[in-house]
Amino acid sequence: MGSVKTIVWFRRDLRIEDNPALAAAAKDGSVFPVYIWCPKEEGHFYPGRVSRWWLKQSLAHLEHSLKSLGAKLMLIKTDSTLATLVECINAVGATKVVFNHLYDPVSLVRDHNIKEKLVELGISVQSYNGDLLYEPWDVYDESGHAFTTFEAYWNKCLHLQMEHVSPFPPWKLVPASGTVKNCSVEELGLEDELEKSSNALLGRAWFPGWSNADKALTEFVEQHFLDYSNNRQKVGGIPHHFCPHIFIMEN
C-alpha cells in the first residue's frame, strides 16, 4: 500500500468489481471517490427520465458498496466538472486523478481537455480501459486506417494478442480526508416529483446496480446461453431481457 492520495472519478463505471481505476487507486494509497453530475455539460445528450432513474438507483447502490469498504462516495452537482475536480484535489491534497475511459465524442473531447488542464497544474492523471477488450484506437487496418466493415474489423481482432487483466476488487479502502460540498442522491435532482410515480413502476421489473448486473449475467450464462446461441437470429427466440448486451448497462 502506497501513500498517494487519489481522486477516483466515477462516470458510467458505477461498480467496485472489475474497475481498473478504483483498483489502481486503492493499491497506490488513499482514495477520494467522486461522482460529478453536471447537467450543463450534458447538452443534447441530457439523459431521459428512465436513464436518470437508472442512474439514481445505481449511484445509491455504489454509495452503499463503497461505504462497506470504508470509503464515502462524494456526490456533487455543479456547472463545471473541471472546477469541481480541482476543488476536490485541493481539499484532499491529492496528487493524482484516475478514471475509466468513455468513448462518445463529447466525452472524449471533455476528458482530453480536463486531462490537459490537470497536468498543467502538476496533477498526475491516469485513465483506464474499463469496458472493452480492445481500445478503438488499437484496431486499425494495415494502412493505419479505421475499418469500414465489421467483418474485416472482427478478423483483425481475432488475430490481436491480448493481455488479460482482471483487477481484483479492493476488500478495503483507505479514505483520503478532505471536505467538499457534496449532496445526497436525492439532492442531485435526477428525478422530479412529477416523475416519481411513473418511476416507481420501473422498479418492479428492473434492478439497477452493479451486483444486480452480475446476477443477471450469471443467470444468462447458466440458464440461457445455449438457447441464445442457437436462437439468437430468430424473431421469436430468446426474450429481450436475456440479450447479453444489457449487461454493460450498469448505470
Q: Distance between CA 26 and CA 5 in Å, rounded?
A: 9
Three-class secondary structure of residue 216 per DSSP: helix
pLDDT confidence of 244, banded at 50, 70, 90?
very low
In 3D space, the residue among 96, 115, 116, 101 whose CA is nearest the CA of residue 7 turns out to be 96
Q: How many CB atoms lie within 10 A of CB 2?
A: 11
- Specify the DSSP element, H or E, that contains 99: strand 96-100
Q: What is the pLDDT of residue 169?
A: 72
The mean pLDDT of the chain is 87
1 has pLDDT over 60: no
Q: How many CA atoms lie within 13 A of 134 on its CB side?
A: 14
24 has pLDDT over 90: yes
Q: Distance between CA 214 and CA 205 in Å, rounded?
A: 16
Q: Distance between CA 251 and CA 249 in Å, rounded?
A: 6
How does pLDDT run across 144-164, given as a tens digit for each residue? Answer: 899 999 999 988 988 888 766
Q: Is 134 within any annotated ligand binding site?
A: no
Residue pair 21/13 in contact by the 8 Å Cβ criterion: yes
Question: What pTM value is reported for the model?
Answer: 0.84
Q: What is the pLDDT of residue 247?
A: 41
Q: What is the pLDDT of residue 233?
A: 66
| Set of cell numbers at residue 236 | 421469436
User: Does residue 78 or residue 167 have the better pLDDT?
Assistant: 78
pLDDT confidence of 220, banded at 50, 70, 90?
confident
Q: Distance between CA 229 and CA 211 in Å, rounded?
A: 25
Q: What is the chain's length?
A: 251
